[in-house]
Every structure is written in C-alpha cells, then in structure tokens.
C-alpha cells in the first residue's frame, strides 16, 4: 500500500496596523520667550509694560490628529498646573492680569508683585483672538487638521509695590496653562510655558520742589468748636520727570514726619509740643476741592491721584493747608508740620 503523506501548511500573515490619534510624536514644545520688557519704577501702582513675544506661533504642538476635534486652552483643569493665580487678579483697561506665583531671583527685601495678561489664538492666520480673562476653557478651533498649534499674543506685564529694591530680576518656568488637542475620542496635551521673564526695577529720577508754607496768625476765638478750620493757604507741588514719557500718570503718598500712623482725614501733627511752646492745634491738608488728602506711610493703601506728565516733562498738584482744631479750647503757641511726598507710577 502506498501511503501519501499530506502536509498542511498554515501561513500566518501579519500586517502592521498604525492607529493615528492626537499625540506628541515629532512635535514642538511651546516655550514662548518674553523680551524687551524694559524697566519699572521702585514705586509702582499697576505700571504696565508690553514686551515682544517670540516665536509668534508654534504650528505643531500636537500631531497626528486625523479625526475632527478641538484645540483648547485653559488655565485651570488641564494636565499642567498653572503658576498664575486666577483669584489674585487685577482688572484694568478691559483686561485681566493674573498674579505670577513663582518667586523672582535674586530675592529682595521688597519684591514686586508681578502680573501678566495675555491672549491666545489658534495657529491659523484667520483664527479668532481670545483674551484670557478667567480660568475657564477656551475653544480656539473646531475641525479637522493633522497638526495642531497656537499663538500667544497681546502679552502685558504689570508690576505693583512700593519701596521696591532696585535691580534686575528673573522669574523662571511660568506655566500659563494647558494646550489640548482632541481628535475623535483621543486627546493630547502640553503646557504653555514662558521659560523666563526678566525685568528691572529702577529708582525714580523725578525731582520735586519743597514749598515752605506760612499760615497766617489767628486768634483762639477763631476756633469755637472741634473741627473748626482757619487760615487756609494754598500750595503747589511740582515734579520734573525728564526721563519719563509724556502722559505718564502718577499717584502719590504724603507721610507725616512726626508719626507713622495713617489717617484718611488729611491731618498732620504739630511737631512742637507744649513744653517747647507748641499749640495743640493741627494742620489739615486737602485738595483744591476740599477733599482730605490721605496721610500715612508709603504704600498703595495711602495713595491719591497726583497728575499726568505734560510734554514739558512736568506735573503739578495744588493743595490747601489749614489749621484744624481737634480739641478745644485751642491753646496759643507755635505750629510746625513737616511731611514727605512720594510719587508712584500708575
């Protein structure tokens, strides 16, 4: 008998299957560089400078998004923890400035409070610009695109604080939020980062006049009750600020040389006590509309509007100084009040 051996072969064919979904393969890391920020002043109340941002866009932050989806930016709720605060914010000129949480180096005795405002935009030229005003999600784009990217635009930096220590400072690794691209049921994300922000604090070069104001002599009977005023005399303080740009706005504080206490009533103490021949009367300082000028140490809680720099690089504010009786009877004697004015850049 002839036997026939039947050999059966099984051929297994293997085909690679590439699943394309949004991912970070062969992509760019969105590190936006801030430059040309310039200098802030050592007394600053919301002083704003606008830097340049490079590059102006990143075109491939996320790749291989073959299905329709969205491009999203958010400060809160993303995969990256932002280093800007959505609770410590300043709303100014229709924009929201977020406090940068990172500390500056080198450390200083009086560090500045640094805030940032910015807008985001999809990578496409015709895309809409979205100012970032809160921590909520911003949908910059919906559609089909294999590569996904974005732009960072309209960046402004705001600094505030008084008695800031002059010097040059840097803040590193500022994470503004998370960029996310979706395609179908898949998504991929990356942080939007400013690697370094460098700024300089300089002292003011403004010079101010120091007027000596002589109030007239008055009788005790001119002050019949507590709160009586008399002898109102005008004075004007002028600042010359040759290094500042015209239309720079200033606030100011006035500090009493004889006390560190604050008051919102414009009251300056008499520096001569009764044993040296001083009266118990005080001085009250108001503006020309008789609104009291706040008195106190140099800080933003005690500031008042001073004025705007003219094209001739000067700015002035007028005041009235009066005797003020906060007790009666008023005692005869000498009255001398001394105060210091500090400009603050707005």
CA-to-CA dists, residue 273 to 37, 256, 277, 290, angstroms:
51, 15, 7, 27
Same domain, 192 and 61: yes
What pLDDT is stored for residue 321 in this prediction? 96
What pLDDT is stored for residue 111 in this prediction? 93
* Cis, peptide link before residue 55, omega less than 30° from 0: yes
CB burial class (10 A; 0-12, 13-18, 19+) of residue 269?
buried
Domain of residue 230 covers 207-345
| Residues paired with residue 262 on neighbouring β-strands, in sequence order | none
Q: Specify whether the CB–CB gap between 336 and 272 falls below 8 A.
A: yes
What pLDDT is stored for residue 125 in this prediction? 84
Question: For the chain, what is the domain count?
Answer: 2
What angle is formed at CA 113 by the lines to CA 109 and CA 118, rounded to 5 degrees?
150
Q: Specify whether the CB–CB gap between 202 and 40 falls below 8 A.
A: yes
Helix (H, G, I), strand (E, B) or coil at 274: helix
Tokens of 92: 């100014």
CB atoms within 10 A of CB 254: 21
Q: Is the dihedral of CA 311, 299, 157, 39 positive or negative?
A: positive
**Is 332 inside a domain boundary?**
yes
For the chain, how far is it from start to end, CA to CA, in angstroms?
A: 111
What pLDDT is stored for residue 13 in this prediction? 41
Tokens of 318: 């007028």
Tokens of 314: 């000067």
What pLDDT is stored for residue 20 in this prediction? 57
**C-alpha to C-alpha distance for 94 and 133, rounded to whole angstroms:** 9
> CA torsion, points 319, 321, 326, 332, in degrees to nearest 10?
180
| Residues paired with residue 287 on neighbouring β-strands, in sequence order | 319
Same domain, 83 and 228: no
What pLDDT is stored for residue 339 in this prediction? 95
Same domain, 321 and 183: no
Same domain, 224 and 194: no
Same domain, 225 and 183: no
pLDDT of the chain, 346 residues: tens digit per residue: 344 343 333 334 443 444 558 999 999 999 999 988 889 999 999 999 999 999 989 999 999 998 899 999 999 987 889 999 999 999 999 999 999 999 999 999 999 999 999 999 999 888 999 999 999 999 999 999 899 999 999 999 999 999 999 999 999 999 999 999 999 889 999 999 999 999 999 998 899 998 899 999 999 999 999 999 999 999 999 999 998 889 999 999 999 999 999 999 999 999 999 999 999 999 999 999 999 999 999 999 999 999 999 999 999 999 999 999 999 999 999 999 999 999 999 8
Same domain, 233 and 117: no
Give the containing element (helix H, strand E) for 257: none
Q: Specify whether the CB–CB gap between 288 and 319 falls below 8 A.
A: yes
What pLDDT is stored for residue 118 in this prediction? 97
Q: Specify whether the CB–CB gap between 206 and 240 falls below 8 A.
A: yes
From 185, 202, 219, give the residue that closes a domain: 202
Same domain, 180 and 224: no
Q: Which residues contact 141 (CB under 8 A, 6 or more apart)?
A: 70, 71, 122, 124, 127, 148
Same domain, 187 and 254: no
From 177, 202, 227, give the residue that closes a domain: 202
Q: Which residue in the block uniquely carries the two structure tokens 């002083």?
A: 47
Which of 282, 295, 298, 297 lies closest to 337, judged by CA?
A: 282
Q: Specify whether the CB–CB gap between 67 and 183 falls below 8 A.
A: yes
In this structure, what CATH number is given to the domain that contains residue 323?
A: 2.60.40.1090
Same domain, 189 and 212: no
pTM comes to 0.83
């Amino acid at each position: 008998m002839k036997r026939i051996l039947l050999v059966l072969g099984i051929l297994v064919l293997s085909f690679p299957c590439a699943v394309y979904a949004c991912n970070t393969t062969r992509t760019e890391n969105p590190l936006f560089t801030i430059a040309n920020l310039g200098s802030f002043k050592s007394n600053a109340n919301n002083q704003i400078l606008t830097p340049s941002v490079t590059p102006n866009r990143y075109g491939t932050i996320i790749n291989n998004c073959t299905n329709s989806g969205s491009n999203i930016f958010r400060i809160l709720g993303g995969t990256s923890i932002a280093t800007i605060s959505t609770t410590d914010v300043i709303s100014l000129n229709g924009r929201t400035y977020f406090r940068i949480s990172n500390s500056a180096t080198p450390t200083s005795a009086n560090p500045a409070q640094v805030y940032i405002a910015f807008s985001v935009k999809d990578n496409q030229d015709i895309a809409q610009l979205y100012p970032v005003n809160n921590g909520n999600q911003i949908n910059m784009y919906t559609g089909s695109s294999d590569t996904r990217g974005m732009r960072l635009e309209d960046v402004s930096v705001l600094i505030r604080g008084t008695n800031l220590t002059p010097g040059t400072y840097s803040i590193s690794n500022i994470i503004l939020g998370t960029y996310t691209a979706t395609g179908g049921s898949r998504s991929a994300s990356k942080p939007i980062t400013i690697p370094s922000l460098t700024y300089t604090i300089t002292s003011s070069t403004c010079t101010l006049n120091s007027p000596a104001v002589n109030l007239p002599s008055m009788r005790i009977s001119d002050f019949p009750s507590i709160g009586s005023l008399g002898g109102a005399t005008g004075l004007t303080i002028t600042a010359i600020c040759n290094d500042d740009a015209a239309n720079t706005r200033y606030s100011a504080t006035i500090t009493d040389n004889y006390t560190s206490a604050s008051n919102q009533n414009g009251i300056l103490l008499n520096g001569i006590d009764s044993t040296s021949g001083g009266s118990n009367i005080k001085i009250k300082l108001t503006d020309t509309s008789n609104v009291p000028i706040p008195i106190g140490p140099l800080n933003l809680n005690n500031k008042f509007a001073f004025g705007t720099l003219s094209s001739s690089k000067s700015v002035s504010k007028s005041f009235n100084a009066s005797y003020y009786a906060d007790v009666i009877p008023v005692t005869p004697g000498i009255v001398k009040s001394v105060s210091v004015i500090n400009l603050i850049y707005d």
